[in-house]
Chains A and B, each alone.
Chain A
Amino acid sequence: MTIRFLLNGREVACESAPDRRAVDLLREEFGLTGVKEGCGGGECGACAVLVDGSARLSCLMLAAQLAGRSVVTVEGLGTAEAPHPLQTAFAEHGAVQCGYCAPGMLMAAADLLARDPSPDREAIAGAVSGTLCRCGGYGKIVEAVERAAEAMRPGPVRKALRKKRGGA
């Protein structure tokens, strides 16, 4: 069947068996190998992508389930020229060791910050606790998410400006 969806902000269409795993479709058809696979069974969180804004495990989704949705992978979160604040914070604060868990961690964190722009450390740890980091870098991962949240939060000046302009 033909599956149409929004992938990293672009309309895409592709031919696929409806029961193909979403992780395979993204990695093999679209070359988005930033989507990692660590278990294929919903246990490690490495394969998370944003589907309509919430983090979902692409190893447990079928290609057909992407139809009509907006899908964002780690490649679509930010770019080399304009990294997402979470990506910058991960790199700067040492949240990347082998880095194989990073894409899944970033997706879980992006999902969290969209819901809660000022999470405390416990909330961050809870939000990423479905994503395994075998390098044991949890401390720095939580710290990086905290720093990114700060960078993304409108500070007093930005808040005041927005108010003046009538923005939200």
Chain B
Amino acid sequence: MPQEFSQIDRRHPRNDALPKALGLERFAADHYPEGLLWAGARRAGIPHARIRTVDVSAAAALPGVVRVLTRADVAGSNLQGIVHKDQPVLAGDKVRHCGDAVALVLAVDRETLARALSLVRLDLEPLPGVFDPAQALKKGAPLVHEGRRGGNVLVRASIRTGRGAAVLRECPVVVRGTFSTPMQAHAFIETENGTARLLPDGTLEMTVSTQAPFRDRFEIAQALGLDPMRIRVVAPYLGGGFGGKDGATVQCLLALAALHAGGRPVKMWWEREESMLAGYKRHAARLTYALGADRDGTLRALSCRIVMDSGAYAHLGGEVMALGMESAGGPYRIPHADIRGLCVYTNNPVAGAFRGFGAAQTAFAAERMMDRLAEKLGMDPLELRLRNALRRGDRNAAGVTMTASTGMAACLEALRAHPAYAAREAWKRAAPPHARRGAGVAAACIGVGYGRGLPDAATARIELTETGTFRIFNAVPDMGQGNASAFALIAAEALGQSPASFELVQPDTACCLPSGSSSAGRTTYTYGNALVRACGALRDRLLVRGAMALLADDTADLTLAPGAVRHVKSGRAVPLALLARMMILEDRTATAEFVMPVTPDATGGKGFVIGFPHLLFAYAAVLALSEVDELTGAVRVRRFVSATDGGRVLNPQGFEQQVAGALIQGMGWALSEDVLTREGRILNPDLSTYLVPTAADAPEVDCLAVDSVEETGPFGMKGIGEVNLNAALPSIGAAVQDACGARLDAAPLTPEKVLGARPRRARRTP
């Protein structure tokens, strides 16, 4: 049934766009409360060591230093972590990676802070470390967390479906491969930061660049021995997040500093190198695959081993692994599978959540296996994908049944119908001198929401203001993806008002209602659904109050028009501004909850805590057109064409921003981004050595949305933020192979690797 919308699926500029372009929007980093102190952490600097002493006397004696704190000053568990609590706020007995904080300094200005940090004397006894999972898994390997059951294995999980990998033996065609993907840094331009202050009544007030203000309260409280309800966290617009601000970054250190600041406000703002050193990363992964099919290309069996490097702490390692395993077989029907995953502690930087969340790593392996299979079968890679694409009712390799909207085939068909796809051979032939061109296709999927085991809930609050406009209390941080503006559109549609009549309050635990984190592609879906309900409740109430004002005996005769409640037959109306004056705040306020439905699927899987399986999936098919420089091996993506199923598009402009942004971030990971370490030390800790894409590297991007409606979503949307990232690396990998024959299974695809991997024939330069 086609639905007519007045706001949805129309191009709107975002509510936050102009204030940000004017330089007026205040991010967390822009807060400088009167009389503030600067807080900073002294980092270990070595990857694995026993702490003998931390001598703070010289630092504490420096004029301008207010306090120097160590482990002994932490009253609570001293442990941070979202699910598994294993990361100390201040390390006490040992350090497990270079970025561990061992002392916390409060000083009157930044210069004093820097000097004091260098005066903290650390006596550390180095311990042998483990710097890759293979080493960490060896018998007798040094233990990152001594005394822990399971040793260096954080999570060992497995999924077996059908008759498992044994079926590979029955398959007439089997392809195999081993792949690796690097650690990636979020590299948001606004690094981790916040301000905090202990008020005289004992409330701890914080403004933090965070993706999860509500959860932060509990994480801080537990680590520091505080009452979570005495902590208030405000989350202004973030200068980027991408998963790296989910979980404690500055929060616990900052709160600890505020507890010892004598009531003065404290500011902590990590410098770029500290952000690289102590911030979270995408898990480096190694993936070993075997994929079996019939001669006609029908997939039959999959075996895969996934090993991820969690670094020194758990963060969301198990959950990242779960999501990766869930889509290990890609968006395809595969009846028999054996999928095993290991997430392993090492003394490397800490890995955590990052857009694509495990599924980005497995997509590389799964998609390149599909290309290999197509090659072996002499089939067109897109047709092979289409033949096996999941449709509603199908099960994926992990045994998860697709019971909701499943637009994978539609994405592939849309891509195939795009003029750039048909013209790809001609485009390749037009390569400039000393360049070779290639085209590559990849398909990807990703689960939306937290998955089973954790309620994915949100509570929306909206009020009619005293002046007759509306105020939405957004409770899920907007890290740049535009959910706040999407909420204004959703409410405008639901209430029949103009988007300009909505004001947005950004997350604040003091006035917004608990709504989970900004993550997992669930932000707009979950809160948006709650908001639709809250709007419905508010509209009903406004009609009842309007009926009183208009002396109408039946609310069915009334309608909520822009700015007024109107009696349809007589045309009489009461302006909302007048109605608002007749109502007290409670009456003008509506709240409503929404909990994301979970899959009824009882698929197995061993070793998962939470996060498997999912009900909803987003899908994308991507074409990459790439050029390889024959002399240098440098790869340039010239164009991406993407077709996405993220449910109905709420705002085409926001859709394009997310699709192109994800592809370009994925392109960085494919071509240049790699956090290089030697024995746990980062070799490229700044933005001149860790290279993210610039405007000069950015390709043209065509963003198509397939016609898709997710019945359970707000106005039919699902989520679009992540899935395209997963398709970038495999599509580029395929394009590079198509261009010059270099088959690279270890990302990133650097010029040296491309030159080295070209087959002899292709190495000749004309």
A residues apposed to B, CB below 8 Å: 24, 27-28, 31-41, 43-44, 46, 73-75, 77-80, 83, 86-88, 90-92, 94-103, 106, 124-126, 128-142
Contact = CB atoms under 8 A, between A and B. Distances in A.
B16 A99 contact: yes
B20 A99 contact: yes
A154 B377 CA distance: 60
A126 B30 CA distance: 29
A125 B187 CA distance: 21
| Most A CB within 10 A of own CB, among B18, B23, B27, B664 | B23
Contacts of B695: 124-126, 128-129, 131, 133, 138, 141-142
Contacts of B18: 80, 83, 87-88, 91
Nearest to A41: B686
Given A33-B30, A98-B190, A75 B23 contact: yes
Nearest to A98: B480
A98 B188 contact: yes
B687 A41 contact: yes
Contacts of A97: 480-482, 657, 661
Nearest to A38: B189
Given A92-B13, A98-B238, A99-B17, A39 B694 contact: no
A79 B22 contact: yes
A88 B272 CA distance: 30
Interface string B17-42: 11111111111011010000000000
B487 interface: no
A106 to B, nearest CB: 7
A20 to B, nearest CB: 9
Contacts of B692: 132, 134
B22 A75 contact: yes
Contacts of A79: 22
B191 A96 contact: no
A28 to B, nearest CB: 6
Given A97-B481, A134-B188, 8 more contacts: A40-B271, A46-B189, A74-B23, A98-B240, A99-B25, A124-B695, A137-B660, A140-B656
B241 to A, nearest CB: 8
A28 B111 CA distance: 14
A79 B698 CA distance: 30
Contacts of A130: 694
Interface residues of B, number: 57
A139 B660 contact: yes
B228 interface: no
B121 to A, nearest CB: 26
Interface string B718-749: 00000000000000000000000000000000
A32 B23 contact: yes
A75 B24 CA distance: 7
Contacts of B241: 98
Nearest to A31: B32
Contacts of B238: 98
- The DSSP consensus for interface residues of chain B is loop
Contacts, number: 184
Contacts of B13: 91-92, 94
Contacts of B653: 94
Given A75-B23, A78-B22, A100 B687 contact: no
B162 interface: no
24 contacts: A33-B23, A33-B27, A38-B189, A38-B239, A39-B687, A74-B23, A86-B21, A91-B14, A99-B17, A99-B21, A99-B237, A100-B27, A100-B189, A100-B190, A125-B698, A129-B696, A132-B694, A134-B186, A134-B189, A135-B480, A135-B661, A136-B660, A136-B661, A138-B693
Interface of B: 13-14, 16-27, 29-30, 32, 110, 186-191, 237-242, 271-272, 479-482, 653-654, 656-657, 660-665, 686-688, 692-696, 698, 700-701
A128 B694 CA distance: 8
A136 B663 contact: yes
A142 B694 CA distance: 12
Nearest to B690: A43
The 10 closest A-B pairs by CB, nearest first: A34-B23, A98-B480, A100-B239, A99-B20, A136-B664, A74-B23, A33-B30, A138-B698, A43-B687, A136-B661
B188 A39 contact: no
Given A125-B695, A135-B657, A142-B695, A103 B480 contact: no
A36 B687 contact: no
Contacts of B21: 74, 83, 86-88, 90-91, 95-96, 99, 102, 106
Contacts of B482: 97
B24 A80 contact: yes
Contact of B701 (A32, A86, A124, A139): A139
A37 to B, nearest CB: 7
| Most B CB within 10 A of own CB, among A96, A102, A103, A126 | A96
| Most B CB within 10 A of own CB, among A27, A36, A99 | A99
Contacts of B693: 136, 138
Contact of B22 (A27, A74, A126): A74
A94 B657 contact: yes
A49 to B, nearest CB: 11
A136 B19 CA distance: 20
A39 B32 CA distance: 19
Nearest to B187: A134
Given A40-B272, A83-B18, A87-B21, A33 B26 contact: yes
